[in-house]
Amino acid sequence: MKSILANFTTYVPEKSRGQIFVSATKYGLLFSSATVKILKQPATVSVYFNNNTKQMALKADGEIKFFSGKSKYVRNTSKRLKRVFEAIAGEASKKFPGKYFEDEQVVIF
């Protein structure tokens, strides 16, 4: 006997991670909770800049303090890092979306 659900397809919900982004604020750089989660809440990160493409990348386990476990998001108050980011990005106080590359475990903004 044919199932009553034979012509249906199964709905599989996507795991919602929220938005991966970084914002430059007057207090520093703010990394979203989705960014922190996707990188698996690392205590430290490496930060890379590409002047040609105007992009910044984060990779877990570097030399810059990142996630302390006190909140869901991360605010980096380094004035130098913020200045470099703004020089590359060309704008302040804006939200920059990121993309996660699982094969290298890196987020690029």
Residue 12 lies in a domain: no
Full-model pTM: 0.78
Structure tokens belonging to residue 17 = 């991670």
* pLDDT tens figures, 26-76: 888 999 999 999 999 999 999 999 988 889 999 998 999 999 988 888 988
Other CB atoms within 10 A of residue 109 CB? 22
Structural domain of 88: 21-108
Number of domains in the chain: 1
Q: Which helix (H) or strand (E) holds 96?
A: strand 95-97
Please give the pLDDT value at position 48: 95
Please give the pLDDT value at position 2: 75
Please give the pLDDT value at position 42: 95
Residue 76 lies in a domain: yes
Residue 35 lies in a domain: yes
What is d(CA 69, CA 51) in angstroms, rounded to the nearest whole number? 31
* pLDDT tens figures, 18-39: 899 999 888 889 999 999 999 9
Residue 16 lies in a domain: no
Residue 8 lies in a domain: no
Residue 45 lies in a domain: yes
Residue 30 lies in a domain: yes
Residue 7 lies in a domain: no
Q: What is the DSSP string of 22-91?
A: EEEETTEEEE-HHHHHHTT--SEEEEEEETTTTEEEEEESSSEE---SSSSSEEE--HHHHHHHHHHH--
What is d(CA 40, CA 62) in angstroms, rounded to the nearest whole number? 13
